[in-house]
Structure 1
């Protein structure tokens, strides 16, 4: 019972901090600033930052710097990559700040549970620390997985638009700018950052490499590899894009068929667990009703 109460309280504390993080919804101009200059620039450009960025981030950064030796909880390189895959959620820009947020949630929840700690002993403290350190990691992983899924889903449609624009006479960068301007989502944001890095003088190969590191998308990795190879061999980009669009449509159909094949056993399992017992209960109810009627007639005589 104590463990259940501790879990519920720490989940509530985590959601409370998360609510402070998202207390302000970014406007379209802020989202554009994120696209062009990175996650941390939006609040500076607009002068409107979330409660977390204005109030809690300094404490998270200080705690993260003070506890940076706790690498058993957060591996810096690994979690920096995962934060990039998640799109730097809530403006958390590095693993050090994430570690500070973990300890901040743990301390906040411990303060809430302080009266109960004296009655239950150290068990509640251990459970609280485990949840406080684990919940932000689970949250970042979930955001990264969801963002990667959205990127993979958006790549085929973006590739079709890119192919049409290039075949119509636009340059590759101008076609990417059309995608950024006319679409929304993680892929559009990452392509906007790609174009921004090109404008400030970053080599194209390095821009492609950073794009792949930020997205961790297999679909995008295949496309970028084909474009780099075509550029090295002198193959026309329009032809390469057309071939890649056809291959990606085929992979999309195959993936849909695989998802459908995976759904069949799940449907059969649901049918077996839910529908079959319901049908049996219905037949059993009819049998009981019939037997009750027969016994009532027998005793009535």
Structure 2
């Protein structure tokens, strides 16, 4: 009852609303700074990746087989801790957790470089162990209850097994967010690229200009276009740069456009015509997605309507009659 009395006080409700308002203001201003810092980090990673590719190409031209000599001032993105690297190498975690698609999955999530791979492999090992230890301490020391020891250990082991999937789930979540941002901005990117190509720009300048313009809408897509611009400038095979863009994004729409550009570059067909067709298909696909979401809205509203709206409607309709029947002077009250 003391809680309800506290909630009924006017001064307490004013203080709660003021605290919520201040938290919303702080979150609003803080999120803007976080977005700016993330954009700076993405630009920095793109610059580092461009320097890395330039060093690889220069080493290949000198006859070094594409190897990068350490200590030339080229920093690798995604640098990791020394203890993580030593654990991964000593326990040979690459053989245990890495497969052919691991690097592609990390690239689709925006993580490139050996450092991010090492961190991911280390997290695959350390996360279940840490969750097991936390669960064991909680079940055996803090809240043992009356369960037997083996049952508490079984619960802790189960928590550790569930925690082993946590890095994969987090990587999948990052990939989905990145792909959603790229997919949403891709039709506009194709339109801008078509305008640049028809105005007489080369593909390198078109990618560079569109990446600069699309950065406000999708920093992820701007980052990928900047990397593709660097690859087009330093790689001998332009088709390889297009294939890398499709592989890093993992989206069918991007892959189809890159395939069309590869065919246009290989057979000498019109790039503008290919981009025009793909841009029209992208706009149609976006309209179909919007119509699909609109068609799926009524079934999604059925359950909230039944649970929240109809009971309130019945109460509003029936309450006056109930008050007349059971109130003073009514049939039941008299």
Give the structure-1-normalised TM-score.
Answer: 0.75
Which blocks of at least 5 consecutive residues in structure 1 are unaligned? Answer: 1-22
- Deviation string for 1:218-240 (max 9, x for gaps)? 11112112222222332222222
Q: Equivalent of 2:178, from 147, 157, 165?
A: 147
Which blocks of at least 5 consecutive residues in structure 2 are unaligned? Answer: 1-33, 53-70
Higher relative contact order (CA 8 A, sep 6+): 1
- Deviation string for 1:105-145 (max 9, x for gaps)? 33444454554354453124313312431211111101101
Separation (CA, whole Å) in 1 of partners of 2:333 and 2:131:
67
Structure ID, larger Rg: 2
Q: Does 1:210 align with 2:244?
A: yes
**Runs (4+) off by over 6 Å:** 44-47
Separation (CA, whole Å) in 2 of partners of 1:205 and 1:88:
22
- Deviation string for 1:224-274 (max 9, x for gaps)? 122222223322222222232222212221221112112221123332332
- Deviation string for 1:17-74 (max 9, x for gaps)? xxxxxx9x85655422312433998xx9899x99xx66xx433333333152773xx4
Separation (CA, whole Å) in 2 of partners of 1:152 and 1:293:
61
Q: Equivalent of 2:220, from 186, 190, 196?
A: 186
Separation (CA, whole Å) in 2 of partners of 1:190 and 1:79:
19
Give 1:11's aligned residue.
Answer: none
Q: Equivalent of 1:63, from 87, 92, 103?
A: 87
- Alpha carbon RMSD of aligned pairs, Å? 3.5
Give 2:110's aligned residue.
Answer: 87
Give 2:294's aligned residue.
Answer: 260
Give 1:226's aligned residue.
Answer: 260
Residue 327 of structure 2 aligns to a residue whose secondary structure is: helix
Give 1:168's aligned residue.
Answer: 199
Q: Equivalent of 2:188, from 152, 157, 160?
A: 157
Conservation of the 8 A alpha-carbon contact between 1:67 and 1:100 = no
Conservation of the 8 A alpha-carbon contact between 2:246 and 2:254 = yes
**Does the C-alpha gap of structure 1 residues 40 and 198 become closer, same or farther in structure 2, counting only changes over 3 Å?**
closer
Separation (CA, whole Å) in 2 of partners of 1:296 and 1:131:
61
Residue 76 of structure 1 aligns to a residue whose secondary structure is: coil
